[in-house]
Amino acid sequence: MEHIANREITGKPSCERSAFFKSRYLNAPLMVDIEYISHLTDSHRKTGNLDVLLRRATDHAWALSHLTPVINQKDMLAGNKTRFIRGAIPYANYAAEPFLKEMRKEEQDDQSKHTAQGIGGGIGKAMEEAAASGLRLISGKFLISSEDYESFREICEYWEDKSFMEQGNRLWRKNFKEAEFIDNGWKIGLYTAPHEPCPEGRLILDYETAVGRGYHAIIKEIEAKINSDSPDSEGHVSRLEFWKSSVIALRGAIAFAQNYAAEASRMAAIESDPIRRAELEQMAEICSRVPMEAPRNFQESVQSFWFTYLLGHIEGSHLGYSPGRLDQVLIPYFKNDPAISIGKAVPLLEELFVKMTQIEYIASLSWQGLGHGNLYQNLILGGVDENGNPADNDLSMAILQAQINMQMTQPTLSVWWNDNLSTSFQMKAAECVKTGVGYPAFFNQKTYITHELNTSGLPIETIRRNSAIGGCTEPTLQGMSYGIVQAGFVNHGKMIDLVINKGVDPDTGIRMHPARELKTYQEVRQYYLDIMHAAIRNWQQYWNMVMIAHRQTVPLVFCSVFVNDCIASGKCMDDGGAVLNSSITTLSSGLVNVSNSLAVIKKLCFEDKTCSLSELFYAVQENWNGFELLRKKALEVPHWGNDDDYADDIFLDLFKEYCDWVRGQDNYLGKPYDPSMLAISTPVPFGKVCGAFPDGRLSGEPLADGVTSPFPGTDLCGPTAVIRSSSKVDHTQIRGGLLNLKFHPSALKGETGSANLLALIKTYFEKPGFHVQFNVVDSRMLKDAQEHPENYRDLVVRVAGFSAYWVEMSKALQDQVIWRTEHSI
Amino acid sequence: MCNRCFAACPSQAITVKDGTLVHDFGICSECSAKPCTGACPYDARSITGREISADELIDTITRDIPFYRNSGGGVTFSGGEPFHQPEFLIEMLKRCQAAGIHTAVETCGWASQTDLRQAIPLTSLFLFDLKIINPDNHLRHTGKPVEPILENLSLLASEHPEVIVRFPLVPGITDTWENLNDILGIMKKNGLSRINLEPYHSLGADKYQEHGLDYLLHNLGHYESGNLDSFRDFFISRGVSCDIV
């Protein structure tokens, strides 16, 4: 038996307190907390006379001011999304339908059938506790008391005809001429499930303003606007409505903070331990100061940031809501605080990261499966300042150190790469990679700057300063973009299925396209493109209709306050108040399998004439059974990821067609859709609904992961060839991109190993690539962890644009990570 | 069992025995068409190694030049034994040098002095394997006399500035203190100051079986990482820079 290679770097919490937080998290079950939605619903019942923004702000503020402030043992930072360690708010105001279906034991949406969730860790804990007590299990992995379950049923019934999802359905089902195509698209797995249960996120607020100015000053500014805006000017009334709503939302937020201050004082008064009492008194003082006023020291700045971050998180049903460039936002407070050092900042950051990880979300089963419970809170370090100088600093180092120590799944760390980042920072980033935790992911800032210069036309200084990653791999401008709210993913693999089966989905028999006679390679390619065009266009148009319902039901008011120039223009984000409204992307995954399949078709059927197209399609429909030698020939045709132009040119051609097509249509804010490709967990469910492909892939196997990652087992020329292929893609055309590389720990050993890793990143970005991330783990360890999960409770690996606890991943996703090609350099 | 390879072999080197396929390496003519590998749909049969021209190889190598530039890396010619194909080796070294690529040649030292002399000005770094210094033991374990190897080492040490000794640690065979002392002595004599230790592992055992060869080193066991430190310390404390690779 070969022994398993250990990860080279194994961090541990910097202090006993952080170790306590981590262990408390790892041992907590997943809970649903209905407190927020109960209060929100109570208010909503009474506010029917208000216009939508005022009503939204009033309901939210009412709920915020009535939330129970919970300060847990040893906490230094105040504020939680729920009353539980691991808790989720069920946003019935966004979508009540999936919950009601579960309560009524009706069939869930079509994608849920293909959804696999994990069963270990906190999920397993919830299941155990549900079995052992009077608690109920909801949405597969969350606990809820029987009493709350009944209350929640009433809440859902209230929202059944009022939620964002229901309003959206009314709009598009009635008005969209391609409504049937969308419905069928869900049935056959062309699209991910409806996104209404968790539509928002990929949003980064302007924390610099929120923390630096304080809410009191911002309220004053808004009130001045309300008083001075001329009633004669166009849009006056709607501006007033937004501004007044903003003040209400901010006042609710202040009440939330003040409740924490009062609770800390109350607890201090009855605390017998003098050390803890002093801590609670300090917490009370801090919470009565921030976020209302500017912080006086580093700790206050962290608390202030956390309040605003949390309050924005509570308002919406976010996925990918991100802290952004926290090392830039908080560095002034770090620098001006004589009492702080990297060593003293680390424990506070460790607590902050545990708190971020404690936020859970509950949505439809399919979205929980797709996101794998991950919140995609992306914190990006380094990069350049507005003048183009490297911006990594002491806080960047402290943040890396805190995550090396803690290895929490949130926030996922990223690095904005440029060659001038300090060597110590680069080496620290490599050290973090070698924990095996899968972050930081590396992003090429120059590529995104070029993209944004071309599409937004904003000044380069603005773009440099504000560029960040919102969510897993989508770059955005922090504090000035409408959070990228898109409809979900389109499955390129399913399009190949439709090409093979003459426009009919083989599983359901649903016809999506007319059959077509295919006599040349060009005709095959065109057939795919036409299918892709219809799939994308319909998806984008459908979502434009749904987002009208967003404005009518759940517009974000609090979040809009901290997105420029909403306040200045008097418009919320849903009305186009953000500086950047071309940030809405169209997402898809599986293009590598399409391009490999077309390469095989081109070579075997039209060049070598090894077999006819119908013979190849027949073999594929038979899942290659009886055609093993033909499959072998298919696998011998060049595949993506080997720096072979034959395969790579096809990918580049399809990539360009996709980007051009996506851009050809405007989003709901009147700007062109921006092309993106991501993966999250889609390769697994998307692959599950697809038959075999001409590229040799078997029926039901996952699609290629990431965006430019090769299909497992078809990259035969090592990591540099993968990178050379990937770097042929013009990443400035697209917002996003994802390349996974998996290394055996021995390949990156020691300082030389770190230096080699950094050289690899540097070379890729010179070419220029956009994104690369690494799993550094012995596959044998992962197999062992499948067999003995009890020994691996804290093992974290990289999946797509996020890292996850191994034991909480589904078996299918675990297999997919093991399956990826393991490299050495 | 599909028997496709069985039917494809023109020399009938593949037979069925007790329900499994047996390949007789004695009968196999290693024919160039290799129909048996093409016949297997699951790639269970493959030929180790492939023919490649100098043009093709330099094309592959030069594609990675940007990586070499950033990592300080380059190309290592290893083996087997690169001096087993001296014309090809020299040709590739010339082309790499012309392209400005750093080159390393890893050799067991069993090479002609003419070939070595040709390679010296073309090579950036030599990795020179030393296994056993005692002539009798060397002959017994490697099948070749040690003297020509030591002469070649002296030649390289005197005419090339970058030579690193590579020393495979094999339990009970090369890792005796006597042999370690001998290695150290040879290095001192030749003015060499860098050594890489290569601890024995059994990852190659399957390869022997696949190639129809007997694996003679079963049951040697593994090193624990603690044991390795004592070997490294032996060299470091005597002024030799030592890495475990």
Nearest CA-CA distance, residue A395 and chain B, Å: 27
Asked if B73 lies within 8 A of A720 by C-beta distance, the reply is no
Q: What radius of gyration, in Å, describes the C-alpha atoms of chain A? A: 26
CA–CA separation, B78 and B108 (whole Å): 9
**pLDDT of the residue at A111:** 64
Question: Among B4, B41, B67, whose Cβ lies nearest the Cβ of A760?
Answer: B67
Question: Among A3, A631, A759, whose Cβ lies nearest the Cβ of B70?
Answer: A759
Question: Among A3, A632, A763, whose Cβ lies nearest the Cβ of B43?
Answer: A632
Lowest mean pLDDT among A460-469, B17-26, B57-66: B17-26
Residue B43, chain A, CB below 8 Å: the answer is yes
**pLDDT of the residue at A114:** 66
CA–CA separation, A658 and A585 (whole Å): 12
CA–CA separation, A155 and A146 (whole Å): 14
Q: Which of A198, A432, A472, A572 is catalytic?
A: A472
What DSSP designation does A444 have?
E
Q: Give me the amino acid identity at A776.
A: V
> Is ipTM beyond 0.85?
yes
**Chain A residue closest in CA terms to B40:** A629
Nearest CA-CA distance, residue A285 and chain B, Å: 52
Q: Say how many Å lie between the first and final Cα of chain A, rounded.
A: 25
CA–CA separation, A35 and A820 (whole Å): 43
* pLDDT beneath 50: ranges in chain A: 1
**B182 or A109, greater pLDDT:** B182
Query: Catalytic residue at A360?
Result: no
Question: Among B4, B63, B66, whose Cβ lies nearest the Cβ of A643?
Answer: B63
Spell out which residues of chain B touch residue A631, defining contact as CB-CB under 8 Å: 41
CA–CA separation, A470 and A468 (whole Å): 6
Among B67, B69, B242, the strongest candidate for a mutation testing the A interface, having the largest count of A CBs within 10 A, is B67
Residues of chain B with CATH 3.20.20.70: 54-244
With beta carbons less than 8 A apart as the criterion, state whether A687 and A808 touch: no
Asked if A643 lies within 8 A of B42 by C-beta distance, the reply is no
CA–CA separation, A229 and A233 (whole Å): 8
> How many residues in total does chain B contain?
245
Q: What does the DSSP assignment read for A506-540?
A: TTT--B-S------SHHHHHHHHHHHHHHHHHHHH
**pLDDT of the residue at B215:** 87
Q: What does the DSSP assignment read for B47-73?
A: -SS----HHHHHHHHHTTHHHHHHHT-
Nearest CA-CA distance, residue B148 and chain A, Å: 34
Among A633, A636, A763, A764, the strongest candidate for a mutation testing the B interface, having the largest count of B CBs within 10 A, is A763
Spell out which residues of chain A touch residue B66, defining contact as CB-CB under 8 Å: 763, 766-767
**pLDDT one-digit tens code per residue, A606-615:** 999 999 999 9
pLDDT-based confidence at residue B47 (cuts at 50, 70, 90): confident
Could you tell me the sign of the dihedral formed by the alpha carbons of A741, A744, A747, A752, in that order?
A: positive
Rounded to an integer, the average pLDDT of B218-222 is 78
CA–CA separation, A322 and A315 (whole Å): 14
Spell out which residues of chain A touch residue B41, defining contact as CB-CB under 8 Å: 628-629, 631-632
Asked if B67 lies within 8 A of A759 by C-beta distance, the reply is yes
Widest CA span in chain B: 62
Among A636, A758, A762, A767, the strongest candidate for a mutation testing the B interface, having the largest count of B CBs within 10 A, is A762
SS (H, E, C) B104-150: EEEECCCCCHHHHHHHHHHCCEEEEECCCCCHHHHHHHHCCCCHHHH
Asked if A756 lies within 8 A of B41 by C-beta distance, the reply is no
What DSSP designation does A125 have?
H
**pLDDT of the residue at A366:** 79
Structure tokens at B114: 């003419």
Asked if A756 lies within 8 A of B66 by C-beta distance, the reply is no
CA–CA separation, A274 and A263 (whole Å): 17
Q: Give me the amino acid identity at A253.
A: A
CA–CA separation, A441 and A469 (whole Å): 11
Chain pair A-B, CB pairs under 8 angstroms: 39
**Chain A residue closest in CA terms to B4:** A629
Among B70, B101, B228, the strongest candidate for a mutation testing the A interface, having the largest count of A CBs within 10 A, is B70
Spell out which residues of chain A touch residue B203, defining contact as CB-CB under 8 Å: 2
Integer CA distances (angstroms), A319 to A324, A361, A370, A564, A574, in order: 14, 8, 11, 21, 17
**Closest CA relative to residue A11, chosen from A380, A366, A432:** A432
Q: What does the DSSP assignment read for A699-751?
A: TTPPPPPTTTPPPTT---SHHHHHHHHHTTS-GGGSS----EEEE-GGGG-HH
Spell out which residues of chain A touch residue B63, defining contact as CB-CB under 8 Å: 643, 720-721, 724
Nearest CA-CA distance, residue A721 and chain B, Å: 8
Please give the angle made by the CA atoms of A333, A337 and A338, to the nearest 5 degrees. Answer: 160
Q: Give me the amino acid identity at A21.
A: F
Spell out which residues of chain A touch residue B71, defining contact as CB-CB under 8 Å: 755-756, 759-760, 763
**Chain A residue closest in CA terms to B66:** A763
Residues of A with CB under 8 A from a CB of B: 2-3, 628-629, 631-632, 643, 720-721, 724, 755-756, 759-760, 762-763, 766-767
With beta carbons less than 8 A apart as the criterion, state whether B130 and B91 touch: no
Asked if B66 lies within 8 A of A760 by C-beta distance, the reply is no
Residue B221, chain A, CB below 8 Å: the answer is no
> What are the b/e assignments for B47-76, b being 16+ CB within 10 Å?
eeeeeeeeeebbeebeebebbbbbbebbbe
Q: Classify A88 in phi/psi space as left (phi over 0), alpha (psi -120 to 50) or beta.
A: beta
CATH architecture of the region B54-244: Alpha-Beta Barrel (3.20)
CA–CA separation, A372 and A590 (whole Å): 18
> How many residues in total does chain A contain?
825
Q: Which of A279, A300, A452, A474 is catalytic?
A: A474
CA–CA separation, A67 and A210 (whole Å): 22
Asked if A762 lies within 8 A of B70 by C-beta distance, the reply is yes
Asked if B71 lies within 8 A of A755 by C-beta distance, the reply is yes
Nearest CA-CA distance, residue B64 and chain A, Å: 7
**pLDDT of the residue at A812:** 82
Strands B20-23 and B14-17: antiparallel
With 0.90 as the threshold, say if the pTM is over it. Answer: yes
Helices then strands (H, E): number in chain A? 34, 18
Integer CA distances (angstroms), A768 to A381, A439, A468, A589, A666, in order: 20, 20, 18, 21, 28
Question: Which range has highest mean pLDDT (A476-480, B169-173, B201-205)?
Answer: A476-480
Spell out which residues of chain A touch residue B40, defining contact as CB-CB under 8 Å: 632
**pLDDT of the residue at A110:** 67
Query: Catalytic residue at A472?
Result: yes
Residue B1, chain A, CB below 8 Å: the answer is no
Spell out which residues of chain B touch residue A765, defining contact as CB-CB under 8 Å: none
What DSSP designation does A436 have?
I
